[in-house]
Amino acid sequence: MAQQLILSIPAPILTYDAYAELQGQDKKDVYNAVHLGRLPVYTPPTNGDENSARVKKYINMVALYADAAKQAGIEIKIG
């Protein structure tokens, strides 16, 4: 029988500020990590009238957990 690891993600997405607080980091360090592509970002869908560059973006916690699991050699099944 395969072993099972059950993770509970407190929120699927977090604001940059909430992520910084959760991780005990400076907000500027989180913004820099996003800019450098080191943190996965979720951008909500926009309608045709909105400038997507101005839409508030979030840290994608689901993608972050999935990447961490992959690096640890753990297979994730969602659903």
- Going by C-beta distance under 8 Å and a sequence separation of 6 or more, which residues neighbour residue 11? 18, 61
pLDDT in tens, 10-43: 899 999 999 999 999 999 999 999 999 999 999 9
The number of beta carbons lying within 10 Å of the beta carbon of residue 20 is: 19
Q: What is the pTM of this model?
A: 0.82
